[in-house]
Amino acid sequence: MRVAIEEAKRSLVAGGTPLAAIMVKDGKVIAVGHAQVGKLRDPTAHGEAECIKIAVKALNSLDLAGCTMYSTVETCSMCLSCGAWSGLTKVVFGAFKEDIVGNPYEFKNYHAIEHVKNLQVPWTSENIEIIGGVLKKDCAELMKNFKNWAPN
């Protein structure tokens, strides 16, 4: 998670959103994702979705079994579903959506983690494991006073 936090800080310095996701397999970081929604004019380009796309290419496989994704913020319904469809083993995130004022990256009154953790894609018998609140205070601090959610 500390690596993801450093990546989030790097994203902010580069003019992006201060959040990041990293993918780890066998103790090595194989992908880093930053939100690209505004830059790419792509509503699906959340940091976690970008991380998943990069990881799949790095492994040259659609199967992310054995991988853990660390995200500085609570992973949204779209990105968690993408993780489930890619067979991702575990998602660990920092700040819950309620910890971030003005967070637009999840539906109101909805917590995807309660739904996605029970989903099983047809080709696996494993459910995605989701753990939230890791270094929550540090991750929430990154987003404090941040308002430009879709930087140009």
Would you tell me which residues interact with Zn ion (CB under 5 A)? 46, 76, 78-79
| Residue from 48, 50, 74, 106 carrying the catalytic annotation | 48
Nearer of residues 24 and 49 to Zn ion, judged by Cβ: 49
Q: Are 127 and 90 in contact (CB under 8 A)?
A: no
Distance of alpha carbon 52 from alpha carbon 103, whole angstroms: 21
Q: How far is the CB of 148 from Zn ion (least distance, A)?
A: 17
Residue 115's φ and ψ, nearest 5 degrees, are -95, -45
Q: Are 141 and 74 in contact (CB under 8 A)?
A: no
Quick one: how many helices (H) and strands (E) in the chain? 6, 5
Nearer of residues 30 and 112 to Zn ion, judged by Cβ: 112
Would residue 48 show up in a list of annotated catalytic residues for this protein?
yes
Q: How far is the CB of 79 from Zn ion (least distance, A)?
A: 3
Q: How far is the CB of 121 from Zn ion (least distance, A)?
A: 18
Which residues does the annotation mark as catalytic? 48
